[in-house]
Amino acid sequence: MAVLKVIEVMASSNKSWEDAALNAVKRTSKTVKNIRSVWIKDQSMTLTKAGKPKEYRATCKISFEVGD
């Protein structure tokens, strides 16, 4: 039986929310192995003074298998 652990991470991108989520997985995978799934818990965006998107942010819950 597998045991999974869930951590919450935040990441950003100047392209899209999808890219922000991919950045979260890419960075997390440098120190966490056996990633199984990612759930996008929340999304937010910062804007320029002109009201254009500046930065996309994603809060992700990443689950991974632990121990053996």
Q: What is the distance between the alpha carbons of residues 28 and 18, in angstroms, rounded to a whole number?
A: 15
8-31 pLDDT per residue, tens: 999 999 999 999 999 999 999 999
pLDDT on residue 68: 64
Q: What is the pLDDT of residues 28-68, one digit of tens each?
A: 999 999 999 999 999 999 999 999 999 999 999 999 999 76
Query: Where along the chain do its domains lie?
Result: 3-66
Domain 3-66: top CATH class: alpha beta
Note the pLDDT of residue 57.
97
Whole-prediction pTM: 0.85
Burial category of 20 from C-beta neighbours within 10 Å (exposed 0-12, middle 13-18, buried 19 and up): buried
